[in-house]
Amino acid sequence: MESRPEAMPGGAPETPVASYAGYREPQPAGHYPPTYTPEPTGGTPLWKRALGPLVAVGFLLVKFGAKLKGLLLLLPKLKIFTTSASALVSVAAYALIWTWKFALGFVILLFIHEMGHVLQLRREGIKASAPMFIPFLGAAVMMKELPKDAAAEARVGLAGPVLGTLGCLIPLGIWLATGEELFQALAYIGFFLNLFNLLPVLPLDGGRAMAALSPWMWIVGFAILIALAVFFPSPVILIVVLLGGLETWRRWKARKSPESKRYNKVRPATRFAVAGVYIALAALLAIGMDATFLERSLSDAAG
């Protein structure tokens, strides 16, 4: 779930980190001849029919984006939204579409993913809260300052998918030992969750990793995300498109400023390490999804 417009070094305190499920970017202070029968005249192409609703939803998201951002900042301050309480709320919400067993397993996988970010943030010397769950969006952790540079941002971003991938081995092992399709489905959704977060687009975990490689990768990732939004429209993807587009544009414009150049200065060895971890993770997750793919629908398996 990990989604955050990020400021450059010197950002404001009390800023959130989160994901879909993943890692949330800190918020800045103050504040992606024919052999067929021709289509009948007047027919509307599929992409145009899909574009209309996307534009309408996108307009609403922009209109209420500031209120949503303020709500996300307020939620962690409410005592009811502690880790355990928000986890129970998420389990109950996901149980409306899946069984409670599958919902519980899914929230546990989210928790493992988020703890990867928490542990790495603390290793970087950045204070971080415990995860807070947001039904149907993922989870979030809070941090009080920004990473010191792009290399640290990449390490924090990749830590979620790294630990999340290891967490997927738990349902995978149980499925291999018992043959229970519930755990096969949990392993599959876990692999998918972590792979989705590796898309090289802000504000996802993959976008964090690209901070240590090249800003051009954000443009490539955003183009991929736009294609996903057109062909597989969903509220989560539309939110990522909105937040990712704003953050990508902001950071792209600031890329030549002295502060950004200092922030993005990364040793070649570190770039190679980040690229190696990123590629290896993406390959392993793709293999995991292929190995745990269910012929039946996910809802059937979860039931």
Q: What is the DSSP letter of 13?
A: S
pLDDT digits (tens, 9 = 90+) for 101-114: 999 999 999 999 99
Contact, 45 vs 25, CB < 8 A?
A: no
pLDDT tens across 225-280, in order?
888 888 888 888 888 888 878 888 888 888 788 888 888 888 999 999 999 999 99
Average pLDDT rounded to a whole number, residues 178-196: 95
Please tell me the pTM assigned to this model.
0.70
Of 169, 150, 160, 54, whose CA–CA distance to 117 is shortest?
160
CA distance 26 to 134: 17
pLDDT tens sequence across 278-288: 999 999 999 99
Residue 11 has pLDDT above 90, yes or no: no
Q: Single out the residue of 240, 251, 270 nearest to residue 155, CA to CA.
A: 270
Backbone phi, then psi, for 15, in 5-degree steps? -115, 145
Give the chain's mean pLDDT: 77
Q: What is the pLDDT of residue 161?
A: 95
Q: Is 133 helix (H, G, I), strand (E, B) or coil?
A: strand
Q: Would you say 203 and 210 are in contact if contact means Cβ atoms under 8 Å apart?
A: no
Angle at 131 between CA 130 and CA 134, to 5 degrees: 150
Calpha distance 30→133 (Å, rounded): 25
